[in-house]
Amino acid sequence: MDNNIYLENVTISFTTKAGIVQAVNHVDMTFNSGEITGMIGETGSGKSVLGMSVLRLLAANSMITGSIIYKNIDLLQLTEKELNQIRGKIISFIPQNPDTAFDPTMTIGKQIIEGYLYHDKKSKTAGISHGIEQLQNYSFHEPKKNFNSYPFQLSGGMRQRALCAMGTALSPEWIIADEPTKGLDAIIRQEVSQVFYDLKKTTNSSIILITHDLRLVQRICDTVIVLYAGTVLEQGPAGNIFDEPLHPYTCGLINAQPHKKLLPLSGMPPNLIYLPAGCKFHPRCSLRKNICCLTEPALQNVNGRWVRCWKYA
Amino acid sequence: MLNVINITKEFKNGLFGRTHTLAVNNVSFSIKAGQTLGLVGMSGSGKSTLGRLALKLIPCGNGRIIFNGIEISNFTMKQMKRLRKEMQILFQNPESSLNPRMTIGKSLEEPYRFHDIGDKEYLDEQIEEQLKFVGLGTELLNRRPHQLSGGQLQRVCIARLLLLRPKLLVLDEPTSMLDVSVQAQVIDVLKNAQKKHGISYLFISHDLDLIKACSDEIAVMYKGRIIEQQPAEDLYKQPEEKYTKQLLDTFLNF
């Protein structure tokens, strides 16, 4: 039995006043264990929603269909109580935006060891020394002092690292990290990425990295998944995708980077309530053909990579 | 356009202000009309403080600030009001720069009202023109900030600044909360605005790729001091300071 996470025909929608928002549409994919998988795409492409759905952390107005299989268990069928045995311990989630992810009225340390005390049923003193050790791993210079600090007393970079420490405190098998480097400067960004890299090596954790930071993906990811309007447009080994992107959308994202051409993609991402017919990317695509507006292409295998585009059909 | 000479800022905090932090230490720089000066450095190096000092959004300790030939270091807030139109700032997080309870239209009108320029008709015309310039439509005017995406909000903020016909803009990490493609759109708008109106930018960022693509000259800040200032191309080819080398290395070979 492997430790992969299998997503089968996962569809996620939210019921809102304006209509039904289709955030993720019929996603079939496998997150391979022992790898760092990067999920990239623009804001609203469903990256975070997909990441959160694995642990069913979505808001109450969400509807998930399909199945998410881990070790022959369908995570979507578990009760809340059963799921709590998995959350943090086996699969952990590192939320984005450390400013709002922490409880402002609790010390950092207390929040880091909360899960540890819950799952491992250890004494509080053991918890505290474990927590301080965690902070040390994330290159905090004064772990004891920071352990007892409140979130507002730490800088943005420190808070982000503390959040990572919280997510990895129980050495989970899977870590889902949502934009762990957003708003960090170069040196801290490198530190945080090093932490993920080391985690994979030393604890053999598998990581799902949800990010906009293409340089980060290029550096540490093994596999890349490109999402657009809740569908997978391209999937393959990181090196190949960046050297030779197949889908026009992936090309666009790569060319939008400042050290490439800084060329914006034309148009806006589609409204998720009224999705376009055919290929979801066709209104913004420069290589659009008639068929693109009518029928959605299937994921094609092109030289061992997967791409959803009529160009390769 | 802007000349800053030997400026220093010290913050006092803690009990009775006994802890002193020297955020900006004896810094001088100048920006020519229609040009962009990039300011890079780590978090806490004093970049944002320097940007705010240059606009006199926070009072400075020592030093002189000369804007358009006028020395403004000793201006009172009332005297500054006249100049505020011409020197503006664009913040990092567009979601917190707009009042969540006001519609986009009201937010766009506000600075106009404050500075008392032109009548309503002229204003509506101007708003439409600027929204078009940043690539948005007038259908947004009745919406509230939470109904817009980050990229749209940042463009609304830019439109609001352009309404006042500024001569100098401080851009304080304008795209660090946005994704790559939206970042490229916002930078595009900013570059076009510079070309059209000849605005000078002080571009603060820690993204060395971005700052290279946007600036004429780049200043590197470290612990409250500008340690190096060079034309953009030269800085990347032959950095003089050891710290700059390290910074470039960390970022570019990442």
Q: Which residue has the tokens 């376009």?
A: A276
CA–CA dist A269, A287 (Å, integer): 17
A152 touches chain B (CB under 8 A): no
What pLDDT, on a 0 to 100 scale, did the predictor assign at position A175? 92
Residue of B43, B177, B209 lying closest to A258 (CB–CB):
B209
Contact B176 A44 (CB under 8 A): no
Four-way CATH pick for B2-93+167-252: 3.30.565.10, 3.40.50.300, 3.40.630.150, 3.50.50.60:
3.40.50.300
Residue of A184, A219, A263 lying closest to B184 (CB–CB):
A263
CA–CA dist B209, B176 (Å, integer): 12
Mean pLDDT, residues B97-113: 90
What pLDDT, on a 0 to 100 scale, did the predictor assign at position A197? 84
Is residue A132 included in any domain, yes or no? no
> Closest approach of chain B CAs to the CA of A116, in angstroms?
31
> Closest approach of chain B CAs to the CA of A36, in angstroms?
17
Choose, out of A191, A262, A272, A281, the residue to mutate when testing the contact with B (most B CBs < 10 Å): A262
Residue of A42, A190, A259 lying closest to B181 (CB–CB):
A42
Q: Is the predicted pLDDT of residue B243 greater than 70, yes or no?
A: yes
Is residue A161 included in any domain, yes or no? no
Global pTM value: 0.84
CATH of the domain at A18: 3.40.50.300
Residues of B in contact with A257 (CB under 8 A): 180, 209
Is residue A134 included in any domain, yes or no? no
CA–CA dist B63, B9 (Å, integer): 9
Contact B180 A216 (CB under 8 A): no
Residue of A156, A214, A256 lying closest to B184 (CB–CB):
A256
What tens digit of pLDDT does each residue of B29-82 get? 999 999 999 999 887 788 888 998 888 888 877 889 999 888 888 888 888 888
Task: Report the residue of chain B nearest A263, measured CA to CA.
Answer: B184
A43 touches chain B (CB under 8 A): yes
Tokens of B208: 């060395």
Task: Report the residue of chain B nearest A191, measured CA to CA.
Answer: B250
Task: Report the residue of chain B nearest A194, measured CA to CA.
Answer: B254
Average per-residue pLDDT for chain B: 87
In chain B, where does DSSP find H-type helix?
47-54, 77-84, 94-97, 104-115, 120-133, 150-163, 180-197, 208-214, 232-237, 242-252
Label the pairing between strands A36-40 and B19-31. Answer: unpaired
What pLDDT, on a 0 to 100 scale, did the predictor assign at position A1? 63
Choose, out of A17, A99, A155, A185, the residue to mutate when testing the contact with B (most B CBs < 10 Å): A185
A157 touches chain B (CB under 8 A): yes
Q: Where are the domains of chain B?
A: 2-93+167-252
A186 touches chain B (CB under 8 A): yes
Give first-to-last CA distance, chain B, whole Å.
Answer: 36
Contact A42 B150 (CB under 8 A): no
Task: Report the residue of chain B nearest A260, measured CA to CA.
Answer: B209
CA–CA dist B146, B103 (Å, integer): 10
What pLDDT, on a 0 to 100 scale, did the predictor assign at position B158? 92
Q: Is the predicted pLDDT of residue B240 greater than 80, yes or no?
A: yes
| pLDDT tens sequence for chain A (313 residues) | 688 999 999 999 999 888 888 899 999 989 998 889 999 988 888 888 999 999 988 888 889 999 999 988 899 998 989 989 888 889 999 988 888 889 999 999 999 998 888 888 888 898 899 899 888 888 788 888 889 999 988 877 788 888 888 988 888 899 999 988 877 777 778 888 888 888 888 878 899 999 988 888 988 999 999 999 999 999 999 988 999 899 999 999 999 888 888 888 887 788 888 888 889 999 888 888 888 999 989 888 988 899 999 988 7
What range defines the domain where residue A294 resides?
Answer: 5-90+172-312
> Closest approach of chain A CAs to the CA of B62, in angstroms?
27
Contact B181 A259 (CB under 8 A): no
Residues on chain B bordering chain A, Cβ-to-Cβ distance under 8 angstroms: 42-44, 92, 149-151, 176-185, 187-188, 206-210, 212-213, 247, 250-251, 254
Q: Which residue has the tokens 């569809």?
A: A11
Banded model confidence at residue B156, pLDDT cuts 50, 70, 90: very high
Say how many C-beta atoms besides its own lie within 10 A of residue B231's C-beta.
12
Residue of A157, A193, A258 lying closest to B43 (CB–CB):
A157
Residues of B in contact with A190 (CB under 8 A): 250, 254
A183 touches chain B (CB under 8 A): yes
Q: Which residue has the tokens 């790559």?
A: B180
CA–CA dist A199, A36 (Å, integer): 10
CA–CA dist A25, A231 (Å, integer): 6
B196, burial (CB in 10 Å: exposed 0-12, middle 13-18, buried 19+): exposed
Is residue A100 included in any domain, yes or no? no
> Closest approach of chain A CAs to the CA of B44, in angstroms?
9
Q: Is the predicted pLDDT of residue B21 greater than 70, yes or no?
A: yes
* In contact, A152 and A190? CB cutoff 8 Å: no
Say how many C-beta atoms besides its own lie within 10 A of residue B156's C-beta.
26
What pLDDT, on a 0 to 100 scale, did the predictor assign at position B76? 85
Q: How many domains does chain A have?
A: 1
Residue of B179, B247, B254 lying closest to A219 (CB–CB):
B254
What pLDDT, on a 0 to 100 scale, did the predictor assign at position A307? 92
* In contact, A197 and A114? CB cutoff 8 Å: no
ipTM metric: 0.77
A84, burial (CB in 10 Å: exposed 0-12, middle 13-18, buried 19+): middle
> Closest approach of chain B CAs to the CA of A98, in angstroms?
13
A182 touches chain B (CB under 8 A): yes
Banded model confidence at residue B254, pLDDT cuts 50, 70, 90: low
What pLDDT, on a 0 to 100 scale, did the predictor assign at position A43? 81
